[in-house]
Amino acid sequence: MWAPIASLLWAGAVTVLPMGTTCPSADAIAAELERLGAVAALAALGSPEVTVEDTKMHVVLRGPDGSKLGAREIAAPEACNERATVAAVFIAAWVGEWTTAPLGEKQNSKFEAPNPSAAPVSSGVLRPGPRALDSTSPVNLPSREQVALAKAEDAKPVEAKPTPPSTKAAAPETTAVVPAAEKLKPEARGEVAGLGFGTYDGDAGTFGAGILLGHRPAGALALAALFEGTGERERTLSPGLAAYRTFRLGVGAGMLRRWERVFGDVGIFPELTLLTLSGKQLQTGHNATAWGAAADLRARLGFTWGRFAPFLLAGTSYALRGERLTLDDRAQSITLSRWNVSAGAGLAFLFGEK
């Protein structure tokens, strides 16, 4: 219902001066401008004047204050409806060019012909080519067949194409939920390590070496087996010396913690110990062995480098039973310390799943 009302309103804005004929009418031109969608652009710019004389049709565009913005002359078709269509197409293309830039810039500069590529006209209508603006330059206008074809194209109903259903809307997003136990489950890994250390039991010090076999089945828990032996230590037992060595075999568990490539672990090992004893500087040498038990606490700090992991270690152990050394022919005796501390370094080779 708005198209007839807009045509009536803009019929007053379009002026047709009688110069030999009143065809086309202002109402017909206004209706064509409304169909082309050029009413808003024309209202912002001014109002056109259309006159027809013989076979010529003159179009003058005036600003809001009545000043003349420009004038063009085109060939007038014979039929009135074709004249209204040609005039409306020409005005729409003209106005479309002017509205692509600020009006003040166009009004203060020399007026130029519109650029047809910027004209907001219907897709089925040919646009006039750009020309210098004067009252005598010819204009290339569409033929009758082209105008009729444009009207037929615009009159065709637009078929509404069904919108395909959105695949995103049809298929809701799914997020894979991993159980917490699976996220925290670490990779199983084993290691075999060689280590060297210095040890001191409160009476004497020496060096030792050992082998560590470890396996981490799950979480931070690690299982390990440790075997190590110390060098010979001596205690004075007048008139000679008592030389002894200690061998340890332990199986225990520990807790492992990682920070990127750095790792640290603490473990406790119940151990079976073997003490070997021999006398020195005595007239009659005598060797003896003694089995015992101890608890060993170890800590390591290292970093991984591919399949290898160098580390530092420190530990302390406590014997569950103290050992007393006594000469066979004398009442002299000494008691070995139950405490033992050690510190050293080692290198582990890692294997198993990564």
Task: Reply yes or no on whether the pLDDT at 82 is more than 50.
Answer: yes
Residue ranges of the chain that CATH labels 2.40.160.20: 186-351
Above pLDDT 90, what percent of the chain?
Answer: 29
In eight-state DSSP terms, residue 153 is H
In eight-state DSSP terms, residue 305 is B
Tokens matching residue 263: 């790792």
Q: Does residue 13 sit in helix, strand or coil?
A: coil
Distance CA 245, CA 290 (A): 11
Report for 85-94, 160-169, 269-278, 282-291: range of highest mean pLDDT: 269-278
Distance CA 258, CA 130 (A): 76
Report whether the peptide linkage leading into residue 102 is cis, meaning its omega lies within 30 degrees of zero: no
User: pLDDT higher for 22 or 288?
Assistant: 288
pLDDT at 42: 74
Residue 245: which of 290, 296, 293 has the closest Cα? 290
Task: Band the pLDDT of 157: cuts 50, 70, 90.
Answer: low
Count CB neighbours of 338 within 10 A: 16
Q: For 310, list phi and psi in degrees, rounded to 5.
A: -70, 150
Distance CA 113, CA 17 (A): 23
Task: Note the pLDDT tens digit of each residue in 247-290.
Answer: 999 999 999 998 889 999 999 999 999 999 888 877 666 788 99
Among 47-61, 128-142, 171-185, 240-254, which stretch is predicted with the lowest mean pLDDT?
A: 128-142
Sign of CA dihedral 53, 59, 61, 67: negative
Task: Reply yes or no on whether the pLDDT at 69 is more than 50.
Answer: yes
Task: Note the pLDDT tens digit of each residue in 220-242.
Answer: 899 999 999 999 998 887 777 88
pLDDT at 339: 93
CB-based contacts of 284: which residues, under 8 Å, 6+ apart? Answer: none
Whether residue 299 contacts residue 265, with contact meaning beta carbons closer than 8 Å, is answered with yes
Distance CA 151, CA 63 (A): 30
Q: Which residue has the tokens 């060019």?
A: 97
pLDDT at 334: 82
State the average pLDDT for the chain: 74
Distance CA 77, CA 84 (A): 9
Tokens matching residue 114: 């519109």
259-293 exposure pattern, b = at least 16 Cβ within 10 A, e = fewer: eeeebbbebebebebebebbbeebeeeeeeeeebe
Helices 2-11 + 26-36 axis angle, to 10: 130
Count CB neighbours of 135 within 10 A: 11
Residue 141: which of 78, 75, 59 has the closest Cα? 75
What is the CATH T-level fold of the domain 186-351, as seen in this structure? Porin (2.40.160)
Residue 250: which of 230, 229, 271 has the closest Cα? 271
Beta bridge partners of 311: 302, 346
Q: Which residue has the tokens 């981490």?
A: 216
Task: Reply yes or no on whether the pLDDT at 6 is more than 80.
Answer: no
Q: Which residue has the tokens 């206008």?
A: 141
Amino acid at 301: L
Task: Note the pLDDT tens digit of each residue in 172-223.
Answer: 554 444 444 444 344 658 999 999 999 999 888 999 999 999 998 877 899 9
Q: How far apart are the first and last CA of the chain?
A: 76
Average pLDDT over residues 331-346: 88
Distance CA 82, CA 102 (A): 32
Residue 46 — left, alpha, or beta (φ > 0 → left; ψ -120 to 50 → alpha)? left
